[in-house]
Structure 1
Amino acid sequence: MATTAPGRNVSVIWFSLLLALILMIIPLPETLRFARPEWLGMFLIYWAMALPQRVSIGVAWFVGILMDALSGTTLGVHAFAYALVVFLVARFHLQLRQYPLWQQALTILSLVLIVQLILLLASSMTHQWKVWMPAVTSTVVWPLVYALLRKTRRAFQVS
């Protein structure tokens, strides 16, 4: 079996981020809209934790600008929130990788809450309690996202 050179299959990262963008803009019923997990944030966190040399603040900023454009929010809000979260993950990625999955999930709660609070401050959202819903659902979904992206990274030998 031929081995792939380092840095190959980076397109898998971009494809997964595109998938996360699609998951973020799929219309949901009104009752589920505020419980949507922060797919894009979780995917960025995973890749920044696993391959910080490939997914950096610049990638987070670019994808955040795309998210702002697709969701119709103020330009730069998602970009700032994602860039801040990826900065924190990149700063502590060695420690985060060592955490058990349940501790990583609690870290996801904190990081997604940061994203949601930034979005809340930039908008005129009147139901502040709904800021917790994406953070909680992202925490619950994190072990599945982690397992799926880890398996994908290994299967496609993304480095």
Structure 2
Amino acid sequence: MAMVKSQHTSVIYVTLLFAILLMLVPIPDSMRYARPEWVALTLIYWAMALPQRVSIGVAWFTGLLMDVITGGVLGIHAFAYALVIYLVGRLHLQLRQYPLWQQAITILSLIFLVHFITMFNTPISLSWTHWMTVLTSTLVWPLVYAVLRKIRRGFQVS
């Protein structure tokens, strides 16, 4: 029985690894600001669906891994992800009840928070293109939600 439970937990980590890989895929410079925040979206989904499995510790470790991989200041992503997952953990019961469009608005504010915190790692730009990540992350939320929900149900992750 313990073997089955560990396989189900590994699905969460595989999806997080896939999200990290999506963040590392090279894209043209003209599109770099439009890249959704895949890791944060994946963490938010799992923290909303299974807060007992994906908590601040998982978010912190994932953020440290992102900091190391991207070569940024150590702890920036870790702090941003941990803060957002703390907020999701506190509000997960309400977030689950929202329709998808209301969840997307909440995602907008959460990704804005992640982007605001992590922008201290890059030169500050007041251009609207710098904030495209927030918009694209909000727009892909329904897709991320549907795919991860199907994975969670398919693998019976609980």
- What TM-score results when the alignment is normalised by the length of structure 1? 0.93
Residue equivalent to 1:47:
46
Amino acid at match of 1:84: L
| Alignment correspondent of 2:78 | 79
RMSD after superposition:
1.5
The answer to which structure has the higher helix fraction is 2
% same residue: 61
For residue 139 of structure 1, what is the aligned residue in structure 2? 138
Question: In the alignment, is residue 113 of structure 1 matched against residue 117 of structure 2?
Answer: no
TM superposition shift of 1:120: 1.6
Whole-angstrom distance in 2 between the partners of 1:154 and 1:71: 32
- Alignment of 1:90 with 2:83, yes or no, is no
2:70, 2:127 → 1: CA distance?
A: 19
Q: Which amino acid is the alignment partner of residue 64 of structure 1?
A: G
- Alignment pair present for 1:99 and 2:110: no
Residue ranges of structure 1 left out of the alignment (5+ in a row): none
Q: Which amino acid aligns with 1:56?
A: S
2-side partners of 1:43 and 1:17: how far apart? 6
1:66-106: per-residue Cα shift (whole Å, max 9, x none)?
10111111000000000000000000000000000000011
| CA apart distance, 1:25 | 1.0
| Matched length | 156
SS of the residue corresponding to residue 13 of structure 2 reads: helix
**For the Cα contact (< 8 Å) 1:17–1:44, is it kept in 2?**
yes
Cα distance, 1:18–1:6 mapped onto 2, change above 3 Å: closer
Q: Which amino acid aligns with 2:37?
A: E
Whole-Å separation in 1 of the counterparts to 2:132 and 2:19 = 18
- The range that moved more, 8-17 or 84-93, is 8-17
* SS across alignment from 2:131: helix
Matching residue of 1:28: 27
| Cross-structure match for 2:153 | 154
Q: Mind listing any 5+ residue stretches in structure 2 that lack a counterpart?
A: none
TM-score, normalised relative to structure 2: 0.93
How far residue 129 of structure 1 moved from its aligned partner, in angstroms, is 2.9
**Structure 1 residue 119: deviation in Å?**
1.1
